[in-house]
C-alpha cells in the first residue's frame, strides 16, 4: 500500500521553525529551483514545486562545517515514543540522533509514499491469506545500537510490549495497531521478523515506524519506569543508532550538539557539527541576522519583512503539513465544558478574518480547511467542518442555553459570567494578533475571553498537565486517508486526545476502520468518524498555511519538502559558500 501513515502530534503555534522542522519533523533532500509557490497544493497537483532544499550531490559540498538550527523547546523528556516527549521539537532533535526512535524502518517520499530505510531494513512483505495478515521484515544485519546491541527481532518485540496497551504503566500516545498484533516472532534468524495480526490492520506501515510518527523503542528500555523517565534530561546516545551522535547537551545554554558517529555503518555525514538551540519566536530574528542560527521560519508577513533583506540569505517556499486551529477541553471545570458554548464559539468564529491576518503580506492563499485529519490536497479529503460563521446563530445558541447578555454585552448564567481562557504559546506578533482577533470575535457574541500567553518552552509542560479551556495549536497533517491517527485524535480514552471528547460509537468505528482494506472505503469511514467527532465542537481548524524558510546561502539538501525526511548525512554547505 503506498499511503501516508504518519501519526501526528500537537505542535505549538509558537514554534520558531527549524521548522519546516516543527511541522513535518524535518523534511528531506530533493527539490527544485528558487520557488514561486504562493497557493496551497490542491488534489492532483505536482508536489515538486513545494519541495525546496537546494539538492546537491555530496561531492559538491565542503566536508565539515557547522549547522545551527532553532527549536521552540528542548526536552525535558527526549523519549519521542512517550506522551511527554511526543512533540515536534523532540522529534526534530531525535531524528538526528536516533532515527529508529522517530521514523523506525520507514522514510517517505514528498507525497507521503512510504519507502524502506535500507540502513535498517532491506524488505517488508505483507501477506493476507484466509483473513490472516502477516508482515515479514528483513532487517539489515549491520544495524546496531551504539552500545553494540543488535537491531533485531527483540526491538520489535519490545515495541509491541510497550504499545500493546496491556501494561497501562507505559504512557504512550496511542496503542492503535499494536493492540491488534497476535505475535512477533523470529524467522530464519534474528534479523527476520514475522508479525502476525489478530485481524487485518491497514495501512500496515503504521506499525514499527510510521514515517514522521512513532518509530521503534530501543530494546534496552525494558520497563515502563525506564520508558517514562529514563529520557528525562538524558538523550541516551548509547541507545541510539544514526549518522550523528551526541557531543554535548547543555541544559543551562539550552543547546544540543551532535557530531559524526564513528559507529555508523551507513553514509558518513558531511557536517562536523549539528546544533539545536532553544529560542523564543521573536528572538530568532536577531539570531538569524547576526549568524547565530542558519535557518528560521518566515511564514508570516512580519517575519518575512524583518528578514528577507538579510545579506547572504535566500528564502525557500513550500506547503506546511500543519493544521492550525483551536482545541477545546470538553471536561474543563468552566463553561467551555458546555457543548452549546463550544458550538456557539464555532458559529461565532470568522475563520476568514483569522487567515487574513495570518497570510497578509506573504502572497499565500488557500481555502479554509475542513479537516483536522488530512491535508486538503489528499484525494481522500472531505470538508467535515460542522458550523457556518453566523453571529446571530451563535447568539441564539447561547441565549437558548440560558446565557443572558448583561449591560456590557457579556453573558452570564446562574450568577456566573461566561469567561473562557485561551492558551497560546510563543511571542510571535502574528500569533498575538490572531488570538486578539479571535478574542474580539468572541466578545461580539457575549463571551469574555482571557488570553493565557505562555512561552514556547512551556509547551511540553502544558501537555503533561492539560490545564486549559481552549488552546491555539497545530496538528501534523496526513497526506492521504489518515487511519493511523484516528485513535490518537478521536478515541475518547486516548491520552493523545487532549479534548477529552468522544463516544463509544466513535470508538467502535475507530476499531473497524483499519480492517477495511480498500483505501477509499477506509477513507469514507475515517470521514464518518471525523464528522461525528466534530459534532462535539472541540477541534476548530482555521488554516494550513505556507512553510517559508530563510536560510544562509549555500545550505544544501535542507528545506521545505512535505513528507520527505531530511537525509542528515547529506546536509551541508556548498563548496565556496560563506558558512563561517
Pairing of strands 192-197, 132-139: antiparallel
- Output the pLDDT for position 479: 54
Question: What's the domain count of the chain?
Answer: 1
Q: What is the pTM of this model?
A: 0.82
- Output the pLDDT for position 5: 30
Mean pLDDT (the chain, rounded): 89
- Output the pLDDT for position 25: 33
Question: 216 by DSSP, 3-state: which?
Answer: coil
- Output the pLDDT for position 250: 97
Separation of alpha carbons 470 and 380, rounded Å: 29
Tens of pLDDT, residues 238-256 = 999 999 999 999 999 999 9
Instruction: Flag the least confident range among 60-69, 276-285, 423-432, 438-447.
Output: 423-432
| Sequence-separated (6 or more) residues with CB below 8 Å from residue 342 | 328, 330, 336, 536, 537, 538
Cis status, amide bond into 203, omega within 30 of 0? yes
- Output the pLDDT for position 46: 72
Separation of alpha carbons 307 and 325, rounded Å: 26
- Output the pLDDT for position 43: 59
Q: Would you say residue 33 has pLDDT above 70?
A: no
Residue 119 lies in a domain: no
- Output the pLDDT for position 210: 65
Cell of residue 563, nine digits: 513528507
Separation of alpha carbons 275 and 528, rounded Å: 44
Identify each DSSP E strand in 119-219 by its residue range: 121-129, 132-139, 181-186, 192-197
Tens of pLDDT, residues 160-202 = 999 999 999 999 888 888 999 999 999 999 999 999 999 999 9
Q: How confident is the model at residue 6 (pLDDT cuts 50, 70, 90)?
A: very low
Q: Would you say residue 29 has pLDDT above 50?
A: no
Contact criterion met (CB below 8 Å) for 157 and 184: yes
Residue 44 lies in a domain: no
Separation of alpha carbons 141 and 153, rounded Å: 11
Contact criterion met (CB below 8 Å) for 133 and 236: no
127 forms bridges with which residues in the sheet?
134
Residue 264 lies in a domain: no
Residue 146 lies in a domain: no
Q: What is the DSSP string of 474-485?
A: EEE-BSS--GGG
Pairing of strands 106-108, 546-552: unpaired
Residue 39 lies in a domain: no
Residue 481 lies in a domain: yes
Cell of residue 378, nine digits: 489528499
Residue 436 lies in a domain: yes
- Output the pLDDT for position 476: 64
CB-based burial label for 354 (10 Å; 0-12, 13-18, 19+): buried
H or E stretch at 510: helix 504-512
Question: 290 by DSSP, 3-state: which?
Answer: coil
- Output the pLDDT for position 427: 83
The pLDDT of 57-71, averaged and rounded, is: 97
Range of the domain at 373: 322-543
**CATH code at 364?**
3.10.105.10
Question: 103 by DSSP, 3-state: which?
Answer: coil
Contact criterion met (CB below 8 Å) for 488 and 173: yes
DSSP 314: E
| Sequence-separated (6 or more) residues with CB below 8 Å from residue 64 | 270, 271, 272
Contact criterion met (CB below 8 Å) for 412 and 418: yes
pLDDT over 90, % of the chain: 69
287: left (phi over 0), alpha (psi -120 to 50) or beta: alpha
Q: What is the DSSP string of 70-98?
A: EES---SB--TTSTTT-SHHHHHHHHHH-
Instruction: Flag the least confident range among 84-98, 199-213, 330-344.
Output: 199-213
DSSP 236: -
H or E stretch at 444: helix 429-444
- Output the pLDDT for position 1: 28
- Mark 536-545 as b/e (b = at least 16 C-beta within 10 Å): bbbbbbbbbb
Separation of alpha carbons 289 and 530, rounded Å: 43
Q: What is the DSSP string of 429-440?
A: HHHHHHHHHHHH
Q: What is the DSSP string of 349-413?
A: --HHHHHHHHHTTTT-B-PPP--SSB-TTSTT----------HHHHHHHHHHTT-EE-TTS-EEE
H or E stretch at 155: helix 153-163
Between CA 546 and CA 557, with CA 551 as vertex, the angle to 5 degrees is 90
Residue 450 lies in a domain: yes
Cell of residue 373, nine digits: 485529519
Tens of pLDDT, residues 93-127 = 999 999 999 999 998 888 888 899 999 999 999 99
Q: Would you say residue 547 has pLDDT above 50?
A: yes
325 forms bridges with which residues in the sheet?
473, 541
Establish how many alpha carbons lie within 13 A of residue 110's alpha carbon, considering only the half-sphere containing its beta carbon: 23
Amino acid at each position: 500500500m503506498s499511503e501516508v501513515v504518519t501519526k501526528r502530534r500537537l505542535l505549538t503555534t509558537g514554534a520558531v521553525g527549524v521548522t519546516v522542522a516543527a511541522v513535518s519533523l524535518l523534511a528531506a533532500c530533493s527539490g527544485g529551483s528558487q520557488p514561486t509557490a504562493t497557493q496551497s497544493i490542491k488534489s492532483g497537483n505536482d508536489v515538486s514545486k513545494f519541495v525546496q532544499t537546494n539538492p546537491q550531490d555530496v561531492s559538491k559540498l565542503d566536508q565539515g562545517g557547522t549547522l545551527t538550527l532553532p527549536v521552540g523547546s528542548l526536552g525535558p523528556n527526549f523519549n519521542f515514543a512517550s506522551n511527554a516527549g511526543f512533540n515536534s521539537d523532540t522529534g526534530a532533535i531525535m531524528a538526528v540522533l536516533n532515527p529508529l526512535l522517530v521514523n523506525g524502518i520507514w522514510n517517505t517520499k514528498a507525497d507521503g509514499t512510504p519507502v524502506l530505510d535500507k540502513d535498517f531494513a532491506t524488505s517488508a512483505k505483507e501477506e493476507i491469506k484466509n483473513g490472516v495478515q502477516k508482515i515479514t521484515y528483513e532487517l539489515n544485519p549491520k544495524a546496531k545500537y551504539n552500545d553494540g546491541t543488535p537491531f533485531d527481532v527483540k526491538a520489535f518485540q519490545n515495541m509491541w510490549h510497550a504499545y500493546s496497551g496491556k501494561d497501562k504503566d507505559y504512557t504512550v500516545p496511542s496503542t492503535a495497531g499494536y493492540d491488534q498484533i497476535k505475535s512477533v516472532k523470529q524467522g530464519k534468524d534474528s534479523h527476520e521478523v514475522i508479525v502476525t495480526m489478530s485481524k487485518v490492520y491497514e495501512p500496515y506501515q503504521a506499525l514499527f515506524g510510521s514515517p514522521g510518527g512513532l518509530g521503534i523503542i530501543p530494546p534496552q528500555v525494558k520497563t515502563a519506569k525506564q520508558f517514562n523517565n529514563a529520557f528525562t534530561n538524558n538523550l541516551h546516545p548509547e541507545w541510539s543508532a544514526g549518522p550523528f551522535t551526541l557531543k554535548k547537551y547543555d541544559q543551562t545554554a539550552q543547546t544540543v550538539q551532535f557530531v559524526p558517529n564513528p559507529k555508523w555503518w551507513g553514509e558518513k555525514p558531511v557536517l562536523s557539527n549539528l546544533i539545536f538551540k532553544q529560542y523564543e519566536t521573536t528572538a530568532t530574528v536577531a539570531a538569524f541576522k547576526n549568524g547565530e542560527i542558519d535557518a528560521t521560519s518566515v511564514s508570516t508577513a512580519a517575519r518575512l519583512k524583518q528578514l528577507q533583506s538579510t545579506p547572504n540569505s535566500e528564502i525557500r517556499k513550500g506547503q506546511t503539513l500543519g493544521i492550525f486551529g483551536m482545541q477545546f477541553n470538553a471536561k474543563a471545570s468552566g463553561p467551555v465544558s458546555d457543548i452549546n458554548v463550544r458550538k456557539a464559539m464555532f458559529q461565532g468564529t470568522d475563520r476568514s478574518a483569522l487567515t487574513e491576518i495570518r497570510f497578509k503580506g506573504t502572497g499565500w492563499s488557500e481555502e479554509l480547511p475542513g479537516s483536522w485529519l488530512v491535508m486538503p490536497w489528499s484525494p481522500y479529503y472531505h470538508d467535515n467542518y460542522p458550523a457556518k460563521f453566523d453571529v446571530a446563530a451563535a447568539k441564539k445558541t447561547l441565549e437558548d442555553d440560558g446565557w443572558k447578555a448583561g449591560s456590557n454585552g457579556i453573558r452570564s448564567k446562574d450568577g456566573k459570567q461566561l469567561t473562557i481562557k485561551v492558551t497560546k504559546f510563543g511571542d510571535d506578533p502574528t500569533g498575538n494578533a490572531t488570538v486578539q482577533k479571535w478574542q474580539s470575535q468572541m466578545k461580539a457574541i457575549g463571551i469574555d475571553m482571557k488570553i493565557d500567553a505562555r512561552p514556547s518552552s512551556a509547551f511540553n509542560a502544558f501537555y503533561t498537565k492539560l490545564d486549559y479551556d481552549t488552546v491555539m495549536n497545530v496538528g501534523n497533517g496526513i497526506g492521504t486517508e489518515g487511519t493511523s491517527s484516528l485513535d490518537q485524535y478521536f478515541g475518547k480514552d486516548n491520552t493523545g486526545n487532549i479534548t477529552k471528547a468522544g463516544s463509544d460509537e466513535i470508538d467502535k468505528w475507530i476499531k473497524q476502520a483499519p480492517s477495511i482494506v480498500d483505501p477509499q472505503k477506509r477513507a469514507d469511514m475515517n470521514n464518518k468518524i471525523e464528522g461525528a467527532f466534530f459534532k462535539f465542537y472541540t477541534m476548530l481548524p482555521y488554516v494550513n498555511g505556507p512553510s517559508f524558510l530563510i536560510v544562509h546561502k549555500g545550505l544544501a539538501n535542507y528545506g521545505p519538502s512535505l513528507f520527505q525526511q531530511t537525509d542528515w548525512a547529506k546536509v551541508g554547505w556548498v563548496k565556496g559558500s560563506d558558512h563561517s
